[in-house]
Amino acid sequence: MALIGILGGMGPLATVDFMEQIIRLTGAARDQEHLPMLVANLPHTPDRSAAITDGGADPLPALLAGIDLLNRNRVGVIAVPCNSAHHWYAQMRAHSEAPLLHIGEVCAAAIAPQVTRAAVLATRGALTAGFYQAALVERGIEPVLPDPDTQQAVSACVAAVKADRLGDAAAHLCAALDALTAQRIEAAVLGCTELPIAARELEMREFALVDSTLELARETVRYALARGWNRPA
Amino acid sequence: MALIGILGGMGPLATVDFMEQIIRLTGAARDQEHLPMLVANLPHTPDRSAAITDGGADPLPALLAGIDLLNRNRVGVIAVPCNSAHHWYAQMRAHSEAPLLHIGEVCAAAIAPQVTRAAVLATRGALTAGFYQAALVERGIEPVLPDPDTQQAVSACVAAVKADRLGDAAAHLCAALDALTAQRIEAAVLGCTELPIAARELEMREFALVDSTLELARETVRYALARGWNRPA
**pLDDT tens column, A180-229:** 988 999 999 999 999 999 999 888 888 999 999 999 999 999 999 999 99
Q: Are both B165 and B73 inside the same structural domain? A: no
Q: Are both A78 and A119 inside the same structural domain? A: no
Chain B CA closest to residue A34: B43
Q: Chain A closest CA to B60's CA: distance in Å?
A: 15
Q: Does A48 touch chain B (CB under 8 A)?
A: no
Q: Are both B126 and B196 inside the same structural domain? A: yes
Q: Could you tell me if residue B134 is inside a domain? A: yes
Give me the mean pLDDT over the A26-52 stretch. Answer: 97
Chain B CA closest to residue A4: B41
Q: Which of B12, B31, B38 sits opposite A23 (nearest CB)?
A: B12
Q: What is the ipTM of this complex?
A: 0.96
pLDDT at B1: 61
Is A33 in contact with B13 (Cβ distance < 8 A)? no
pLDDT at A206: 84
pLDDT at A1: 61
Domain count, chain B: 2
Is A12 in contact with B34 (Cβ distance < 8 A)? yes
Residues 6 or more apart in contact with residue A187 via CB below 8 angstroms:
A111, A112, A115, A117, A118, A119, A207, A208, A209, A210
Chain B CA closest to residue A165: B29
Containing B143, the helix (H) or strand (E) segment is: strand B142-144
Whether the predicted pLDDT of B14 surpasses 90: yes
Residues of B with CB below 8 A from A232's CB?
44
Q: Are both A111 and A17 inside the same structural domain? A: no
Q: Are both A24 and A81 inside the same structural domain? A: yes
Q: Could you tell me if residue A194 is inside a domain? A: yes
Q: Which residues of chain A from 79 to 138 reach within 8 Å of chain B, CB to CB?
A: none
Domain span including residue A140:
105-212
Residues 6 or more apart in contact with residue A6 via CB below 8 angstroms:
A15, A18, A19, A37, A38, A39, A40, A70, A78, A79, A80, A81
The burial of A117, by beta-carbon neighbours within 10 Å (0-12 exposed, 13-18 middle, 19 or more buried), is given as: middle
Q: Could you tell me if residue A233 is inside a domain? A: no
Question: E strands within A9-66?
Answer: 37-41
CATH code of the domain covering residue A196: 3.40.50.1860
Contact B202, B93 (CB under 8 A): no
Q: Are both A96 and A144 inside the same structural domain? A: no
Q: Are both B139 and B180 inside the same structural domain? A: yes
Q: Are both B35 and B133 inside the same structural domain? A: no
Q: Does B71 touch chain A (CB under 8 A)?
A: no
Q: Does A76 touch chain B (CB under 8 A)?
A: no
Q: Are both A118 and A75 inside the same structural domain? A: no
Containing B180, the helix (H) or strand (E) segment is: helix B166-181
Adjacent-strand bridge partners of A172: none
Q: Are both B151 and B110 inside the same structural domain? A: yes
Q: Which residues of chain A from 16 to 35 reach within 8 Å of chain B, CB to CB?
A: 16, 19-20, 23-24, 28-35
Instruction: Residue A49: name the closest of A40, A59, A41 by CA.
Output: A59
Q: Are both B56 and B75 inside the same structural domain? A: yes
